[in-house]
Amino acid sequence: MIGRLALVVLAGSLVAVVAFNATSATLQRFGHSNPPCRGLVVVEAAYDPWTGLPHGTEFTCPVSASWPTGWHLQSTPPEEVAGTRAIPMPVGFALGCLTAAGAIFLIDRRRRRPALG
């Protein structure tokens, strides 16, 4: 029973990762030179894994001597992905779990059938 549950969770996780990566791999990555502050954190434009919605690049400068208040800037999503969605991780996980559970159910059911004869 534990082995079957582990198999279902593993299948759900695998489908979630593969489905999200396959549908969110359309964004180009760009490098950033000359950071405007020390400790600049850049989150590239990507899709949110929980909702599947695209978001723009985010720049965050922490509080420092040169920037006493710090700042955060987020751009709009790139034009090529505006209005599109990726398959969210929870949806992929649910589909993978349901598919694996259905396959295990059918295999167990066929094994338990009495032989005709």
pLDDT tens across 8-36, in order? 999 999 999 999 988 887 665 555 556 66
In 1-117, beta strands by DSSP E: 41-43, 46-47, 54-55, 58-61, 71-74
CA distance 117 to 106: 22
| Band (100; pLDDT cuts 50, 70, 90) | very high
Instruction: Say what the pTM is.
Output: 0.70
Query: In Å, how far are 42, 90, 98 from 9, measured between CA atoms?
Result: 33, 12, 10
Q: Is the pLDDT of residue 88 over 90?
A: yes
Distances (CA, A) of 99 to 11, 19, 56, 61, 68: 8, 14, 34, 44, 53
Helices of type H across 51-114 = 89-112
Q: Identify the band that residue 40 occupies on the pLDDT scale cut at 50, 70 and 90.
A: confident
